[in-house]
Amino acid sequence: MNNTDVDIYDIKTLENGNKLVGEIEFPPRKMWVKTYGCQMNYHDTERMVSHLQPLNFSLTDNREEADFMIFNTCAIRDLANQKFYSHLGGSKHDKAAREVKIAAAGCIAQTESKELLKKYKQLDFAFGTDVIDNIGEMVYRAYAGDTKFSVTSWDKSANYSIETKRTAGTPQAFINIIKGCDKFCSYCIVPFTRGREKSRSVSEVVNDVARLVKHDGVQEITLLGQNVNSYGKKNGESLAELIMELENINGLEIIRYTTSHPYDISDELIAVHGTSEKLSNHLHLPVQSGSNTVLQRMLREYSVEHYMERLDKIRQANPDIIISTDIIAGFPNETEEEHRDTLELLKVAKYDFIYSYNYSSRKGTKSAKMDDILTKDIRSRRLQEIQKLQLELQVESRALMVGNTYRVLVEGFGTMKGIKKWKGRSDCFRIIHFVPEAGQEDMDYTWHWVDLKVTSTTALSCQGDVVNVLGKRLTPENEL
Ligand code: 5AD
Ligand code: SF4
């Protein structure tokens, strides 16, 4: 075993390009990461990669050339678990074929690390959601010869202080502002996998974002948390206050946040949706069900009436706002009538899009203990009905976009039926596709701001014509 009194941040670069930490040399290595689940997980992956770059790791998409593999897992529904178990099972072939270290991270690793290490011999180590920033130490341990260890401790400090890490080099950045969840909705595993709520301070986030805007070319941010509306509560601060401070950062153009809980959407925050110039015209507000009795069994703390009152108020404050939601189909013992209430809600709430899922029983949650008479078939049929209705409603709501002009930040291109089409996301989160203007076929629009006039729409796609190309930075003259 090597010296254990090692400063993991004391990294020397040797003449041959290897990095030296303590007595261990780190030659250039490739890491491959499979990420499951939500934006929070994708951003956690970005943090991991960024922490390992100083140890000579670079990211590869090619699993076969990876020296180090990480599975960053999601536990929200059983399907995500099953996918991961199957992929992890397959990694025994990687281990047999070459020298590779394999780690499991994220929500499943948080609660099942010991079982995973026991069952999957190819797994070198597992670590939870609250120790991501210690990945350098864990990798050091693994290359020092330690195997089969797990780190799933919680950060016990009262405050939550980090610096945003990025690897992408794009104008878009994810910013963690609050971690954990104190809500304990009866179906949800998140409070068990992500721990208690803890917020960064307003001043820390503002300085962090100002740095990214000034030195890293960031123009659009997404504030992340399981329940961002609880942001700052324990410190006497609030999301509304944070957004108003961020608003003052020159060069920052769009502020998004996700995910919200309807109970915690304050009047103050709704007012900010009306006054802020930079806050996105899109709000994701998960309702989960349109039935009050189901919402009660879900322990969601609000009624359909309260939810609709919040929605109306948000739409009054910002008439251009676009709303999306999450729906769970077939909560335990949901009656046909309760299900129909959800269909009715879709018609009234007029969502731009929804994420909808079959209920999945998660071990350790309150709803997992409920006697449940619903069958898989009933759940699937209800989910289909929800999705079919929403697509019909979307045809109508998207058609209203035709003729309007939207400013998008172009993210890239794809080929549709042999035609190269660029795509960008509007302030209100809609993806719009476009072909270049005549004579501009070779133009690289990536990360340009472009004004697009919508020409046609379907439930799921939207086409536009270029009205104006504004370049990679906006100036006060080209305000929409
Ligand atoms: N079953 C199905 N969907 C779930 N979600 C959370 N837990 C479950 C579960 N046990 C959904 C909710 C949440 C989204 C992120 O995932 O709709 O808003
Ligand atoms: Fe899960 Fe509810 Fe917390 Fe969202 S608010 S993460 S659904 S417990």
Tens-digit pLDDT profile for residues 177-194: 999 999 999 999 999 999
pLDDT at 375: 97
Together in a domain, 236 and 254:
yes
Q: Which residue has the least CA distance to atom 4 on ligand 2?
A: 226
CATH number of the structural domain spanning residue 459: 2.40.50
At residue 280, what are phi and psi to the nearest 5 degrees?
-55, 150
Is 5 within a domain? no
Is the model's pLDDT at 1 over the cut of 60? no
Together in a domain, 228 and 372:
yes
Together in a domain, 192 and 110:
no
CATH number of the structural domain spanning residue 247: 3.80.30.20
pLDDT at 8: 84
pLDDT at 475: 79
Together in a domain, 371 and 451:
no
Examine the fold and report which residue of 399, 426, 459 is the final residue of a domain before the chain moves on: 399
pLDDT at 416: 83
Examine the fold and report which residue of 353, 375, 399 is the final residue of a domain before the chain moves on: 399
Per-residue b or e along 211-250, where b marks 16 or more CB atoms closer than 10 Å to that residue's CB: ebbeeeebbbbbbbbbbbbbbbbbeebbbbbbbbbbeebe
Q: Is 76 in the pocket of ligand 1 (CB under 6 A)?
A: yes
Together in a domain, 143 and 118:
yes
Distance 187 CA to ligand 1 centre (A): 7
Distance 56 CA to ligand 2 centre (A): 37
Structurally, the chain folds into a number of domains equal to 3
Q: Is 424 in the pocket of ligand 2 (CB under 6 A)?
A: no
Tens-digit pLDDT profile for residues 36-87: 999 999 999 999 999 999 999 999 999 999 999 999 999 999 999 999 999 9
CATH number of the structural domain spanning residue 55: 3.40.50.12160
Q: Is 181 in the pocket of ligand 2 (CB under 6 A)?
A: yes
User: Helix, strand or coil for residue 26?
Assistant: strand
Together in a domain, 386 and 319:
yes
Q: Which atom of ligand 1 is nearest to the CA of 187?
A: 10
Together in a domain, 42 and 111:
yes
Q: Which atom of ligand 1 is nearest to the CA of 38?
A: 15
Q: Is 429 in the pocket of ligand 1 (CB under 6 A)?
A: no
Q: Is 185 in the pocket of ligand 2 (CB under 6 A)?
A: yes
Together in a domain, 392 and 410:
no
Is 158 within a domain? no
Is 237 within a domain? yes
Examine the fold and report which residue of 121, 151, 181 is the final residue of a domain before the chain moves on: 151
First to last CA, the chain: 63
Q: Is 394 in the pocket of ligand 2 (CB under 6 A)?
A: no
Is the model's pLDDT at 19 over the cut of 90? yes
Ligand sitting nearest the alpha carbon of 227 = 2
pLDDT at 426: 95
Domain that holds residue 36: 12-151
For residues 457 and 479, the model is more confident at 457
pLDDT (mean) for 413-440: 93
| Nearest alpha carbon to residue 151 among 162, 164, 135 | 135
User: Rounded to two decimals, what is the model's pTM?
Assistant: 0.95
Together in a domain, 255 and 229:
yes
Together in a domain, 258 and 389:
yes
- Is residue 182 within 8 Å of 191, Cβ to Cβ? yes
Together in a domain, 437 and 368:
no
Is 167 within a domain? no
Q: Is 190 in the pocket of ligand 2 (CB under 6 A)?
A: yes
Q: Is 183 in the pocket of ligand 1 (CB under 6 A)?
A: no
Together in a domain, 215 and 273:
yes
Q: Which atom of ligand 2 is nearest to the CA of 189?
A: 1
